[in-house]
Amino acid sequence: MANMNIITVRYFASLRERLGRNEEQVEAAGLSCVADVWKRVATEPLPANTLVAINQEYASPGSPVRAGDEVAFFPPVTGG
Amino acid sequence: MAIRVQQDGFDPWRELAAYLDTHALDWAGRYGATAVFIGSLRDFSQGEVVSGMTLEHYPGMTESYLEKISAEARTRWELLDTLVIHRFGPISLGDPIVLVAVWSAHRDSAFAACRYLIDELKTRAPFWKQEATPGGVRWVEENKP
């Protein structure tokens, strides 16, 4: 059951290494969109090619976030 | 329609035979076309020798994305079934990384849907390749077509 006062933030691949962490939790209060979440967790601007997801579905920096959400930031994908 | 994301290595040809044995019961004798794509780890990338690779993924989102594009393919083309298998974790040279198979009555839809699935997978499924080269490990920044 998700804690309803927090947003879980996850990072992958080169972005995970650069930030030095896989995952963290932030207070949801005051965060209205994905870009707000990034400002809370990082000092650098969101790198231009970064992809974002909310609850494991693609989203954009302007997409709204709510308490209980899982927000992910990751570089361009290279599977296959 | 089946999706598998797994760390273990696999033999795509055995997987295809096994899938036909277990899943084709409903559509045996109805497919005229099988289109298959297999991606394997080759020994060069961007002008450098590659000796191995590690694939990271986003557990959960990977599976749901592959489910989504498989369902989308079945709305765009008349397909009997699809199978997608993709590995993560450490991969050795020559190992298969991905298998996409599509069964259809006719080749046009089989080819088109197979192409669609591998292209969507490569551009949007949350996997990341880290290659081992003589200069050390490096993240692959973008996929080549």
What's B7's domain CATH number? 3.90.1170.40
Residue of chain B whose alpha carbon sits nearest to that of A14? B139
Question: Is B145 a member of any domain?
Answer: no
In a domain, A29, yes or no: yes
Domains in chain B, number:
1
ipTM > 0.85 (yes/no): yes
The answer for residues whose C-beta is within 8 angstroms of residue B14's C-beta and 6 or more apart is none
Q: How many Cβ atoms sit within 10 Å of the Cβ of residue B61?
A: 21
Q: Is residue B144 part of a domain?
A: no
Q: Is residue B121 part of a domain?
A: yes
**Using the beta-carbon criterion (under 8 Å), do A80 and B55 form an inter-chain contact?**
no
Is A79 within the bounds of a domain? Answer: no
% of chain A surpassing 70 pLDDT: 96
Question: How many domains does the structure of chain A reveal?
Answer: 1
* Pair of tokens at residue B139: 């993240």
Q: What pLDDT is stored for residue B28 in this prediction?
A: 87
Report pTM.
Answer: 0.94
pLDDT given for residue B69 in this prediction: 98
Instruction: Calculate helix-pair angle for B61-76, B107-124, nearest 10 degrees.
Output: 150
Domain boundaries, position A40: 6-74
Interface test with B, best of A17, A71, A78 (most B CBs within 10 A): A78
Strand order in the sheet with B127-133: B89-92, B52-57, B127-133, B136-139
C-alpha span between A35 and A65 (Å, rounded): 10
Question: Which amino acid makes up residue B119?
Answer: D
In the structure encoding, which two tokens stand for residue A7, read together?
A: 């947003």
* pLDDT tens per residue across span B62-101: 999 999 999 999 999 999 999 999 999 999 999 999 999 9
Res. A2: pLDDT tops 60? no
